[in-house]
Structure 1
Amino acid sequence: MTSPNRRTAHAEATRQAILAAARRLFVERGYFETRVEDIARAAHVGAPAVYATGGGKSGLLRTLIEAGTHGGDADAIHARIAAETDPDALLRFIVDATRGVFEEWAPLIRQVTDAAPQDPAVRESLETAHAGLRRGLFRTADRLAELGALQPGLDAGEAADLLWYFLNDQSYFTLTGDLCWPPSRAADWLHHRLRTVLLH
């Protein structure tokens, strides 16, 4: 008889295989061109296992986005924001953090961005990703305000808007995709611009 621990481990391994297959196929083929059967075949499971794991394609996509948005790194990032006392170091940190997330998730987010206008479930997943990023940016803006580091007349809400303007996905897509800048150059430029527009 299989032990409960072994069954649990097998179920989690199956779940991770399904999520990995879905992520790879979404990136390679696009969301609409990927079928549940394709995911099942790539993960070496039956289609019912895919539905049981995520409830179909939209559920799998939502699970992937939530894993990237609410993963263990998010808590560490928020703790670092709260602890930082140097405004410029805080800006550098948040730029590097968003760059890291972008580099890891950009291929999937690009597909999600392309599919979102045509599918409400995909659009909801994209909004979840954006909400997670904005939470970190609001915390950064609030911390800069607490440190008295913002430009005269600039409040935390406006600072959060500026952080979003410079650090959202489309900004990185423009710099690294359209302009073909290396991510390191994009991060340096974003840090410099944010320091200029936010800090006194």
Structure 2
Amino acid sequence: MEAARALFIEKGYFGTKVEEIAQSARVAPATVYAVGGGKNGLLRTLIESGTGAEEVPVILARIEESTDPADLIRFIVRATREMFEKWADLMRQVAAAAPQEPTVRETQRIAHASMRHGLALTARRLATLDALRDDVDVEAATDLLWLHLCNAAYFIRTDDLGWSLDRSEAWLNEALPPALLRRP
């Protein structure tokens, strides 16, 4: 898994060969297919390991326990930033390969579904706390959170605009409350 991750990040999905993964992991290429399911199986397993990482249930529990809407927004901004820091290099390669490879596109959908689940939970919690603006329902709040916090949005801020993650986090903490929350 680690050999595949390192090579996917270094060479991209299409530039990585099963033989290179096998050589880096010190196993036979047949083992990569038998145990890992080849390149696609390894990539999918890597992404699923992220969606099932030990911090995910902790994040979800914190969302459900939150009682302060502004604190919840700061928390979800921090949580997505930390996940982005951990997974950005690999997700950048997934995003690059997905348009050309249906199996990678499916793997990307798994990552997106996991993140949207957490964002929908956040939106529902904000609604339960009666904190959403009158013109923003749970579905709209989920979409607004996605537009601001998905990997693609982070890529735009960091790669295209050259923002640091600190600047991005500060901006998100300024932009999201008025977009989502009713005025006190």
**Could you tell which deviates more after superposition, 108-117 or 45-54?**
45-54
- State the alpha-carbon separation in 2 of the partners of residues 191 and 64 from structure 1: 30
Query: Which residue number in structure 2 is paired with residue 12 of structure 1?
Result: none
Counterpart in 2 of 1:129? 111
Which ranges of 4 or more aligned residues in structure 1 deviate by more than 2 Å? Answer: none
Output the CA distance in 2 between the equivalents of 1:39 and 1:181: 33
- Partner residue, 1:100: 82
1:59 & 1:53 partners in 2: Cα distance? Answer: 9
User: By how many angstroms is 1:162 displaced?
Assistant: 0.4
Q: RMSD of the TM alignment (CA)? A: 0.7
Question: Which deviates more from structure 2 when the two are superposed, residues 89-98 or residues 44-53?
Answer: 44-53
Alpha-carbon displacement from aligned partner over 1:63-122 (angstroms, at most 9, x marks no partner): 000011121111111100000100000000000000011111111111111100111100
Query: Following TM superposition, by how much is the alpha carbon of 1:50 offset from its aligned partner in structure 2, in angstroms?
Result: 1.1
Equivalent in 75, 79, 103 of residue 61 of structure 2 = 79
Q: In structure 2, what is the equivalent of residue 138 of structure 1?
A: 120
Query: Match of 1:27, as an amino acid?
Result: I
Q: Return the letter of the residue paired with 1:23.
A: R
Give the one of 25, 32, 37 matched to 2:7: 25
The normalised TM-score by structure 2 is 0.97
Q: Does 1:193 align with 2:175?
A: yes
Aligned pairs, how many? 182
Larger radius of gyration: 1
Q: Which has the higher contact order (CA 8 A, sep 6+)?
A: 2
Distance 1:120 1:174 in 2: 24
3-state SS of paired residue (1:150): coil
Deviations 1:103-148 (A, max 9, x none): 1111111111110011110000001000010000000000000000
1:154 correspondence with 2:136: yes
Q: Are 1:38 and 2:20 matched, yes or no?
A: yes
Query: Structure 1 residue 163 and structure 2 residue 145: aligned?
Result: yes
Which of 142, 155, 163 is the aligned partner of 1:173?
Answer: 155
Letter in 2 for 1:144: L
The Cα shift of 1:195 comes to: 0.6
Secondary structure of 1:89 counterpart: helix
SS at match of 2:163: coil
Query: Does residue 184 of the first structure (1) align with residue 166 of the second (2)?
Result: yes
Residue in 2 that maps onto 1:10:
none
Q: Distance in 1 between matches of 2:137 and 2:84?
A: 27
Q: For 1:31 and 1:85, locate their aligned partners in 2 and report how far apart those are by CA, in whole Å.
A: 42
TM-score of the superposed pair, with normalisation by structure 1 = 0.89
Which residues of structure 2 form unaligned runs of 5+?
none
**Which amino acid is 1:53 matched to?**
V
1:90 aligns with 2:102: no
